[in-house]
């Protein structure tokens, strides 16, 4: 049977699909309420597994029907698949009952406690909770990488593919790299979504790009970035000058023009700014 989050080292907040929608079956209502689009293209599955290079413990949000779960296990991972839909969780648990490489947990992945041992996250995740899953991954101290199949637009924004950089990416950059992987067309899913997907890869760096104690490292860097993204005056220069001395010299050292809008400052340039303004 599928494990409940109340069992062992798991905790959860169980969600329920709404019982509404004329003419729809319970399965149809669950897919809509839980943002379920199942991966059915074996080539797409292979691309995700290749990008993840799974080994050791892997947590899979939204295991669904288990296509990716089984592929990860076959690639050598020890997989804990999380599925909030009790119908799907029970079916997958029954199917994999005799497989020692796979455990199925019924419940909300974003409410789970992160393992203390090193682990990775790999999943075809629901579009509607992409940000929650990414935030969970970034907060997990033992996470080594996250390989997520997301909306292509989201993956492009977070990886800087539009030539602009988001607060989430910049703020986590000293600790995680962000990389855009292969595009997975909408026809690789059932039901077919309205947009294409892409593989987004987050990987923890061997050593942080920002050093020092919590106060003078992580905290000071994130305060700098949050101020820059605060939007005072329309440019990163105007925002930073409200608190820091020597901003013009720091911008010159980082190769940032004085009128640059914050989203166009590369994460590596933020590292230089931090080194000049906060150390």
H-assigned helices in 130-174: 130-139, 152-159, 167-172
- Is 85 labelled a binding residue? no
CA nearest to 153, candidates 119, 198, 120: 198
- Is 39 labelled a binding residue? yes
Cα–Cα distance between 99 and 265 in angstroms, integer?
Answer: 48
Regarding beta strands 56-61 and 77-83, do their DSSP bridges make them parallel or antiparallel, or are they unpaired?
parallel
Helix, strand and coil percent figures for the chain, each rounded to 5:
40, 20, 40
Cα–Cα distance between 256 and 174 in angstroms, integer?
Answer: 19
CA angle, 261 as apex, 258 and 263 as ends, to 5°?
135
- Is 187 labelled a binding residue? no
Helix (H, G, I), strand (E, B) or coil at 174: coil
Beta bridge partners of 6: none
- Is 9 labelled a binding residue? no
Judge contact between 228 and 265, C-beta under 8 A: yes
- Is 62 labelled a binding residue? yes
- Is 83 labelled a binding residue? yes
Q: Is 91 exposed, middle or buried (0-12, 13-18, 19+ CB in 10 A)?
A: middle
Which residue positions form the known binding site for S-adenosyl-L-methionine? Answer: 37, 39, 62, 83, 108, 124
Binding-site residues: 37, 39, 62, 83, 108, 124
């Amino acid at each position: 049977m599928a494990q409940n989050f109340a069992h062992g080292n798991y905790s959860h907040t169980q969600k329920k699909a709404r019982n509404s929608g004329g003419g729809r079956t319970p399965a149809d209502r669950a897919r809509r309420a839980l943002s379920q689009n199942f991966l059915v293209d074996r080539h797409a599955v292979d691309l995700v597994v290749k990008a993840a290079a799974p080994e050791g413990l892997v947590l899979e949000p939204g295991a669904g029907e288990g296509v990716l779960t089984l592929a990860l296990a076959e690639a050598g991972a020890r997989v804990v698949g999380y599925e909030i839909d009790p119908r799907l969780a029970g079916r997958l648990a029954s199917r994999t009952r005799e497989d020692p490489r796979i455990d199925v947990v019924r419940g909300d992945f974003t409410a789970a406690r992160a393992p203390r041992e090193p682990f990775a996250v790999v999943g075809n995740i629901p579009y509607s909770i992409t940000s929650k899953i990414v935030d969970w991954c970034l907060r997990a101290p033992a996470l080594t990488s996250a390989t997520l199949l997301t909306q292509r637009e989201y993956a492009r924004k977070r990886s800087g593919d539009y030539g602009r950089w988001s607060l989430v990416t910049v703020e986590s950059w000293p600790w995680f790299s962000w990389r855009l992987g292969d595009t997975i067309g909408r026809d690789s899913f059932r039901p077919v979504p309205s947009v294409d997907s892409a593989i987004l890869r987050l990987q923890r760096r061997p050593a942080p790009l920002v050093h020092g104690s919590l106060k003078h490292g992580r905290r000071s860097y994130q305060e700098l970035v949050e101020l820059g993204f605060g939007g005072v005056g329309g440019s990163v220069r105007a925002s930073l000058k409200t608190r820091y001395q020597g901003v013009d010299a720091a911008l010159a050292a980082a190769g940032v023009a004085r009128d640059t809008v914050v989203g166009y400052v590369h994460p590596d340039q933020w590292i230089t700014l931090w080194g000049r303004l906060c150390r």
